[in-house]
Amino acid sequence: MADFEPNIIAFVCNWCTYEAADLAGTSRLQYPPNVKLIRLMCSGAVDPIFIIKTLLEGADGVLVGGCHPGSCHYVSGNYKARRRFMILNKVLESVGFDTRRIWIRWIAASEGKLFAQTVTEMVEEIRKLGPNQLKKTWDI
């Protein structure tokens, strides 16, 4: 199989992970261009339906980035998000999805390197998993 370029959508929180991405940029850190960022105010604002929809539309991977638990800009947004993602992962794995395509990472604003590293790792892991077959599934 020729190397395919994974298409990864990232839902990142404005105050931490988005800042980290910005810092990675200003520090001229190199990381693969496969990630498309969608900025939300908080990881708690990520409705699980966004993640499901993204995968059904054929994205090869979904990354959700937020502040470290305990440091949420809105105090408890990421705690609620954490429970939602536990539920989401259990539901999706129980119907036959490959939940290795969904990554949740807590990346603080000062962790530009960690952001670049996470993206690099994720692109490689998703590349190994291959393209998301749902791109072709028409009866959904």
- Residues at the interface with another protein (CB under 8 A): 48-49, 52-53, 56, 58, 64, 69-70, 76, 79-80, 82-92, 94-97, 99-100, 102-105, 125, 134-140
What string of DSSP letters covers 114-131?
A: HHHHHHHHHHHHHHHH-S
Report the nearest approach of another protein to the CB of residue 78 (Å). 9
The smaller minimum CB distance to another protein, of residues 27 and 90, is found at 90
Write down the least CB distance from residue 135 to another protein, Å: 8
Q: List, in order, residues 6 or more apart from 90 with CB less than 8 Å away.
A: none
Instruction: For another protein, give the closer residue by CB, 26 or 138.
Output: 138
Q: 23 vs 88, which CB is nearer to another protein?
A: 88
User: Sheet holding 35-40: strands in order across?
Assistant: 35-40, 8-13, 61-66, 102-106
